[in-house]
Amino acid sequence: MNNTLSRFAYIDAARSTAQNFVDLVCSIDNPDASLGRRSKWTIAECVGHVASEPSRYLDLACGATAWPSRPSDLKDIYAKQIANLTTRDVHKLAARLLDDLDELLDLVGHFGARVPVMPVEGDCRGVRADSALGILIGKMTVHGHDIARTVGAHWELDPGVAPLVARGRHQLLPCWIDHLGEASPDATFEIRFRGTDERFVYQFADGHLEINPDEHADPDLYVSVKPAAGVLIGYGRMSPIRALLTGRAMAWGPSPWLATHLVKRFAPLDA
């Protein structure tokens, strides 16, 4: 579960996910439509946010800026992105997304053996600049889901990118766990993505999170989840209860009641 994936797996997945996102948004007749109850954004503003992210990741990779120490600060960053958009034309925004992403992916593709680490304010761990692409892939995936649901279009969540999204998220989650307010009880979880070899261990102890520790207690809960459902649950687009009731997830172990509490332990990574 600790094997490292090639940076080119992230690059290829980012490029294909972005192209799918662009194909979707460029087919929309009414980009001024609201995304609905879960967001105040219009479709065009959502596209503008996604299009603004590759340049932010480029700044992060170059050390010009840092991830905020509190996940709640992302909302201010995203609000500024929307306020500073020079256009709401989704075709122009889509072109910006692809152009800026190409620049970011070219940088990542030419990293040497020592991969730059994106800093996190007030934290010494940081985020590897190559696998951080997993977070960007997750963003494009879930916002594509949001937009497709709004307009009634088809949107396929590629199960193959789910491990990349998870590994990207894993780097930020321990940095942010201290900012979630109430400390959760100590517990160990094992998450399995169906149809893959991916298994992740989350160990919560004394208010801190360690992912895939070399040594850990026997899991209090095992969760088997379809990869696409795992992405939607992780970004708050699907409730764990719905996933369990529809067979997209299954949970067992000494403490089955923890199944609906796992997601609450994590900070959201997206607006």
**pLDDT tens-place values along the chain, 271 residues long:** 445 678 999 999 999 999 999 999 999 999 999 998 778 899 999 999 999 999 999 999 999 999 998 888 999 999 999 999 999 999 999 999 999 999 999 999 999 989 999 999 988 789 999 999 999 999 999 999 999 999 999 999 999 999 999 999 999 888 887 555 556 678 999 999 999 888 999 999 888 889 999 888 899 999 999 999 999 998 989 988 899 999 999 999 999 888 877 777 776 666 5
Indicate which CATH number applies to the domain containing 237.
Answer: 3.30.1050.10
| 90 and 129 share one domain | yes
The domain of 191 spans 181-266
| 25 and 113 share one domain | yes
Task: Identify the H or E element spanning 123.
Answer: strand 123-128
Residue of 28, 66, 68, 20 whose CA lies nearest to 44: 28
| 102 and 139 share one domain | yes
135's tokens: 């977070």
Are the beta carbons of 125 and 175 closer than 8 angstroms?
yes
| 15 and 101 share one domain | yes
Indicate which CATH number applies to the domain containing 68.
Answer: 1.20.120.450
Rounded Cα gap, residues 136 and 192, in angstroms? 22
| 221 and 260 share one domain | yes
* pTM confidence score: 0.93
Query: In Å, how far are 125, 239, 266 from 162, measured between CA atoms?
Result: 23, 17, 17
Q: Looking at the 3D structure of the chain, how many domains does it have?
A: 2
79's tokens: 């609000």
Rounded Cα gap, residues 171 and 183, in angstroms? 20
First to last CA, the chain: 29
| 153 and 197 share one domain | no
Strand order in the sheet with 221-225: 208-211, 199-205, 187-193, 221-225, 249-252
| 257 and 146 share one domain | no
Give the bridge partners for 250, in sequence order: 224
Give the number of other CB atoms < 10 A from CB of residue 224.
16
Residue 187 lies in a domain: yes
| 14 and 68 share one domain | yes
Query: In Å, how far are 18, 43, 51 from 28, measured between CA atoms?
Result: 16, 9, 16
